[in-house]
Structure 1
Amino acid sequence: MLRPRLIPCLLIQDGGLVKTTKFKDAKYVGDPINAVRIFNEKEADELVVLDIDATVHRVEPNYERIAHLAAECRMPLCYGGGIKTAEQAKRITALGVEKVAISSAALENPQLIAEMAAEIGSQSVVVVLDVKKKLLSKHYEVWTHNGKHNTKRSPLDVIAEVQAQGAGEVVINFIEHEGTMKGMPLDAIKMFKAACRVPFTVMGGAGSLDDLGDVVAENGLLGVAAGSLFVFKGPYRAVLINYPTQAQKREKIYGRCHVQK
Structure 2
Amino acid sequence: MLRPRIIPCLLVHDKGLVKTVKFKDPKYVGDPINAVRIFNEKHVDELSVFDIDASVLNREPDYKMIENLAAECRMPLCYGGGVKTAEQAQHIFSLGVEKIAISSAAVNDPMLVSRIAERVGNQSVVVVIDVKKKLLGGYEVYINNGKKGTGKNPFELAKQVQKYGAGEVVINFIDNDGMMKGYDMNLAEKMRESITLPLTVLGGAGSLDDIGQLISQFGIIGASAGSLFVFKGVYKAVLINYPSPEEKDALIKSNFKFN
**What range describes the TM-score normalised by the shorter chain of this pair?**
over 0.9
> What are the superposed Cα offsets for residues 141-173 of structure 1, whole Å, 9 maximum, x if unpaired?
100000001011111110110001100100000
- Alignment correspondent of 2:141: 142
State whether residues 209 and 253 of structure 1, in contact with CA within 8 Å, keep that contact through their aligned partners in structure 2.
Answer: no
- Alignment correspondent of 2:87: 87
- Alignment correspondent of 2:12: 12
The separation in 1 between residues aligned to 2:252 and 2:139, in whole angstroms, is: 27
The separation in 1 between residues aligned to 2:253 and 2:191, in whole angstroms, is: 21
TM-superposed CA distance for 1:191, in Å, is 1.3
State whether residues 230 and 240 of structure 1, in contact with CA within 8 Å, keep that contact through their aligned partners in structure 2.
Answer: yes
The separation in 2 between residues aligned to 1:253 and 1:178, in whole angstroms, is: 24
Question: Structure 1 length normalisation: TM-score?
Answer: 0.97
Alignment of 1:1-261 (within 5 A): 1-137=1-137, 139-258=138-257
SS of the counterpart of 1:205?
coil
Which ranges of structure 2 fall in alignment gaps of 5 or more residues?
none
TM-superposed CA distance for 1:135, in Å, is 0.9
Number of residue pairs matched by the alignment: 259
With over 3 angstroms needed to count, the CA separation of the structure-2 counterparts of 1:124 and 1:182, relative to structure 1, is same
TM-superposed CA distance for 1:254, in Å, is 3.2
State whether residues 219 and 259 of structure 1, in contact with CA within 8 Å, keep that contact through their aligned partners in structure 2.
Answer: no
Which ranges of structure 1 fall in alignment gaps of 5 or more residues?
none
TM-superposed CA distance for 1:259, in Å, is 8.3
TM-superposed CA distance for 1:99, in Å, is 0.3
TM-superposed CA distance for 1:251, in Å, is 2.1
TM-superposed CA distance for 1:2, in Å, is 1.8
The separation in 1 between residues aligned to 2:253 and 2:126, in whole angstroms, is: 24
- Identity across aligned pairs (percent)? 60
Superposition CA RMSD, Å: 1.0
Which stretch shifts more, 184-193 or 238-247?
Answer: 184-193
